Each structure stands twice: as C-alpha cells, then as structure tokens.
Amino acid sequence: MRNHTLTSLVAHLPVDTIDNHHPLPYEFGQVDTAQTNYYFQAIRAMLLDDEVASDVELRHATAMTIPFIISGSDADVTFAKQVLDDFDLDDLMEQMLRATEFGFQPIEMFWEKQDGLYVPVNSEPKRPEQFRLKKDGSVFYANYTYQMQSPPMGKIISVVRDQSSERPYGKSVLESLWAIWQSKWISWANIERLGEKYAIPSVAALVPSATSQDQLGAVAENLAPIENGSSVALAGVSDVKMLTVSGKVTELLEIITAIDTKISKTITGQTLTSNTQAHGSRALGEVHERAAMRISMKDAKMVFKHLNKTLFKWIFEFNNRPGKIKISVDKEKYQELVDKVTSDSSVEKIELSDVKGSEHLCIL
C-alpha cells in the first residue's frame, strides 16, 4: 500500500492546529456543517503512524495493570456487583483511556432493565469533536440538525485529561509530538521520492535526431534485457549512458529512528520496548519501567475519577437506592508491583467479583 505523503496528511493544517482546536462553551449552537476540526484531524493523522499507535496501545495496556480496589459497605458492594455482573468494566476503562491521546473522550452508555434493575449492558466511544462541555461539567452533543442538545442523564461519560479553566477540553499527550512528528513524515516523503527515482531505467541510449519512432521502439526493446547481463547489439545508437540514483536513504532512516525514540519516550516514558533501543542495562530498564508505571498510574487515576463521578453513582440513582462505592488505586499492591517490575511475577487487579466480606472493604 502506498504511504500517505506529507501533503495528503499535514501540509494543509494551520500553524495553530494544536492550540486553538475546540470551541469554548459560550459557542454552543455555532456548529457549522462544513466545519473541520483540525485538532482531532492532526491527532488521527499521527495515529496512522505505527510507532505512535503502538506506543499509545502500550500506555493503555500498562495503565490497565494498575491494581485497584472497590470500597464501600458490604451491602453497597454486593449490590454493585449484581448490577455490573454482565457488564464489561475492563472494556469501558480501555475506552476511557482514549482521553490520553484525544484529551477529551465521550463514552456512550447503553442501559437495559433486567429483573427490575436498570443495568449497563454496553459502552461505545464517540467522536469527541461532536460534543461540547459546559462549565459545570455537563455535556452537549450535535444532533442530526447540527444543533447542540443535552443527552439524558447516564447516557454520556465525558473523560477529560488534565482539565483546567484554560483547557476545559483537556490536553492530548500527542500535542508535544506534533512538530517532531511532521519532521518524521517529511523524511518518509523524501524516502518515497527516492523510491520513485529508483524506478527510472538504468540505461539510456543516445540516438541520432533523425531516428523514427519505430526505430526508437526497437532500440528500447533491445535495451530491456541489459540488466540480466545479456549481450545486446544496437543499430543506429551513438552512445549508451548508465543512470545511477543517489540519495541519502541511510541518513533519512537515522532521522526517523531518532524521532521514533522521542515518540516512545514522550508517550510511554521509556524506550526499552522500542526497536530503536540498541542496548541497555538492567538498572536502566528498571528506571524506565518505573517511569512508565508512574505515567500509567496517572492515567488509571483519571479513569477511576470519572467512574466514581458517573457510572458508580448512576447504578444507585437509576435504581432508586441509596448507597456509594468508590474505585481507587490499591497503593499497597501498586508498591509491590513497582518493587517487582523487573521480575516475572505479576499483580492481578482486584475485580468486583473478588471483593468478599469486609477484608477488602473500606467503609465510607
């Protein structure tokens, strides 16, 4: 498959793509059907890069290994387990982690009434550019007439990474890679152009100007087998030139390798899992793995925070039942995981189904 060139991916994007990417809340109702959101277009372009995509996936996978605990009263945890018994909580958490690369990730929830209880049955990530946030955290979406309207309560979980008053829609981890990534794509485009040069015939025949088209065709046909080492006799040819292609492919590949290392370090906090790392020590590996764990801890806390504000509240409110549960990092088991990060042993997450009795509970 032919690579996308720089022109087709990024050349038409404005300079302020990364900074001015999302309308502020006071612009509700001003959505234009022809509007293009360059911020998310730039992110999706970067996600076409196999290095970026694999590093983002690795960051998600590491965050999913952070041990957590569900805390609450015995009755509340038991009820939550009953409501969430058939719901894939891990799948929802992985979808929420997409806020890492997009900054803002809405998740649509699907509910059903089973045995007298309202239970979540599925979740689906939505395109963030179709949603707007109010200052109180509530969300609007663009309907089929491109007007903003509020979804029913419990329908949308809005996950925002590094939210602030200046950045109400959060910040993508890929923002700092935008400039360097464009340099990488320029290098790939140059390699592509070199490849096109290699398609040029390796020999050219110089013939008298009076040569007819039929004679030129015969000369070209006779030149065809010359790369196989066959002997060729040419009539009406004054000279034969050998064509060579020059290009600094090695230098371009070295630039790409260096940029891939920067990409890996920015997204995952380490480079040892990248094919760009030629050598390293065990001590260096431990440092890099610990850095990756700290980054993943922050991503996990982002997911836990939004679960506590949304789904874990809704399962009680929708069923008209008082109660409260909370998901948080199991700090003791997390420390064990960090201490043993270079060993083969692993620490499993504490799922709702694992919570039995009061031994795992923290009464709120």
The pLDDT score that the predictor gives to residue 246 is 60
Q: How many CB atoms lie within 10 A of CB 315?
A: 25
The structure tokens listed for 358 are: 């009061």
The mean per-residue pLDDT over the stretch 18-45 comes to 61
Q: What mean pLDDT, rounded, does the chain reach?
A: 76
Listed residue (250, 248, 273) closest to 54, CA to CA: 273
Identify which has the larger pLDDT, 26 or 350.
Answer: 350
CA distance 102 to 93: 15
CA distance 153 to 148: 16
Q: Is the pLDDT of residue 361 over 70?
A: no
The 10 Å CB-count burial string (b at 16+, else e) for 83-110 is bbeebebeebbbbbbbbbbbbbbbbebe
The structure tokens listed for 152 are: 């029913």
Model confidence at 207, pLDDT cuts 50, 70, 90, reads confident
Q: Is the pLDDT of residue 143 over 70?
A: no
CA distance 339 to 341: 6
The mean per-residue pLDDT over the stretch 50-58 comes to 92
Q: How many CB atoms lie within 10 A of CB 338?
A: 15
**CA within 13 Å, CB half, 124:** 8
The structure tokens listed for 88 are: 């894939």
> DSSP string covering 256-276, please?
HHHHHHHHHHHHHS--TTSTT
**pLDDT tens column, 263-321:** 988 888 765 555 444 444 444 445 456 667 778 889 999 999 999 999 999 999 999 99
Question: 28 by DSSP, 3-state: which?
Answer: coil
Contact (CB, 8 A) for 169 and 104: yes
CA distance 272 to 261: 9
To the question of pTM greater than 0.85 for the whole model, the response is no
Question: 149 by DSSP, 3-state: which?
Answer: strand
The structure tokens listed for 349 are: 């997450």
Dihedral (C-alpha) 333, 334, 340, 344: value to the nearest 10 degrees?
80
